[in-house]
Amino acid sequence: MDRQTQLIGQAGPFLDAVERASRAAPLRRPVLVIGERGTGKELIAERLHHLSTRWQEPLVTMNCAALPETLIEAELFGHEAGAFTGASRARAGRFEEADRGTLFLDELATLSMAAQERLLRVVEYGEVSRIGSSRPLRVDVRIVAATNEDLPRLAETGRFRPDLLDRLSFEVITLPPLRAREDDIAVLADHFGRRMAAELGWDMWPGFAEPVAAALDAWRWPGNVRELRNVVERAVYRWDDPARPVGAVQFDPFDSPWKPAPLLAGASRPPAAAQGPLPDTAAPPAPATDLDGVTDLRGAVDAHERAIIEHHLARHRFNQRQTAKALGLSYDQLRHALRRHGLIDRA
């Protein structure tokens, strides 16, 4: 886990998730943390541990997707010497290491059905048996598990044990993606920017230029907070004038005119990632204008611009901030356009 990262945010959905974790922390019950990649599932696991009565005991982490299926059970439950080829000596598993503390199982949905069955026994009876041993060991472990999968759907399709899901879901904390935390983007960007500036030895933090701040706010952040941190830190370290606000940002570090061509013969190069918000797939209607009879170009352009603004206002239920973001404008720019087209009362 990244110990330098903190739980930072003020958006309602995010604060609700943090509050739920705080309330569940003192209990011994298992907790499931659900969320997209980069939303901070590991940090919630840390909070659950450090606010519990087990805070002085071990917090052991295991990424279930990082090991081949043949080794996961040995990692979780340990093994005796000679239990399988290469097991030259006995080894304690993660459950024994986490005794009296917390075990954080990341990427839970990748566990094999055999490992799920053994995990179920530990959850039910508090006993773990090393591979190659018939003698169960008592363990006192609080389980926190995380995934970005839809576990109920996996249980319905036979890819996850429903009885295990029942026992692990005493509390389920679902973390909102960053796109649902609009108020937090600027706060997080400033935090990561200040931290990177301090790491680089800058005397002061100049902040972001307005176009960069607007671009950060408009980006959809498919990688969530982890992606935001990378984008901000990369922008700060590439900026050569610490006395001026950071004025350039690159969202896709792989975007380059010299990136390798596709391996398949005849395949066309995919388009570079757009440096801005994802396009609105619903096209606005064309203005009711007979272009053959138009002699005033400015009038035709104004009519088309008005139609686009009216379309997006209706699409976003006359929410001006959402409309501005969809159009790639600042809030003030949209307000100016609304006044110019006489739409201010309708918005």
| Digit-coded pLDDT (tens) for 75-116 | 898 888 877 777 778 888 899 999 999 999 999 999 999 899
- pLDDT at site 269: 52
Cα 335 to Cα 347: distance, rounded to the nearest angstrom:
9
| CATH 1.10.10 residue spans of the chain | 291-340
Centre a 10 Å sphere on the Cβ of residue 276 and count the other Cβ atoms it contains: 13
Greatest mean pLDDT among 84-98, 129-143, 260-274: 129-143
Name the pTM for this structure.
0.70
Q: Is the pLDDT of residue 328 over 60?
A: yes
In our burial notation (b when 16+ CB lie closer than 10 A, e otherwise), range 207-238 reads bbbeebbbbbbbbebebbbbbbbebbbebbee
Which of the residue ranges 62-71, 151-160, 285-294, 327-336 has the most confident prediction, judged by mean pLDDT? 151-160
Fold exhibited by the domain 12-81+91-176: Rossmann fold (3.40.50)
Numbered ranges of CATH 1.10.8.60 in the chain: 181-238
CATH class of the domain comprising 291-340: mainly alpha
- Cα(347)–Cα(339) distance, integer angstroms: 10
Q: What is the mean pLDDT of the chain?
A: 86
Q: Long-range contacts made by residues 315-320, C-beta under 8 angstroms, separation at least 24?
A: 315/280, 315/282, 318/346, 318/347, 320/347
Query: What are all long-range contacts of 204-209, with beta carbons under 8 Å and residues at least 24 apart?
Result: 204/242, 206/242, 206/243, 206/244, 206/245, 206/246, 207/245, 207/246, 208/245, 208/246, 208/247, 208/249, 209/244, 209/245, 209/246, 209/247
Residue 46 CB-half CA count within 13 A: 11
- Of 137, 126, 138, the C-alpha closest to 167 is 126
| Start-end of H helices in 112-223 | 113-125, 151-156, 162-168, 182-199, 210-218
Comparing CA positions, the residue from 221, 116, 144 lying closest to residue 177 is 221
Q: 103: exposed, middle or buried (C-beta count within 10 Å: 0-12, 13-18, 19+)?
A: buried
Q: What is the pLDDT of residue 5?
A: 53
| Number of CB atoms found within 10 A of residue 71's CB | 13
pLDDT higher than 80, residue 284 = no
Average pLDDT over residues 156-162: 96
> What does the pLDDT read at residue 336?
82
pLDDT band at 268 (very low <50, low <70, confident <90, very high): low
CATH 3.40.50.300 intervals, the chain? 12-81+91-176
How is domain 181-238 classified at the CATH fold level? Answer: Helicase, Ruva Protein; domain 3 (1.10.8)
Q: Give 72 or 224, the one with higher predicted confidence.
A: 224
Contact 32, 146 (CB under 8 A): yes
Which ranges constitute the DSSP H helices of the chain?
Answer: 12-24, 41-50, 69-77, 94-97, 113-125, 151-156, 162-168, 182-199, 210-218, 224-238, 297-315, 320-327, 331-340
**Is 60 exceeded by the pLDDT of residue 3?**
no
- Asked if residue 217 lies in contact with residue 179, where contact means CB atoms within 8 angstroms, the answer is no
Residue 280: CB atoms within 10 A of its CB come to 13
Q: Using an 8 Å Cβ cutoff, are 18 and 47 in contact?
A: yes
Residue 274 has pLDDT above 80, yes or no: no
Dump pLDDT digits (tens) for 31-62. Answer: 999 999 999 999 999 999 999 999 999 999 99
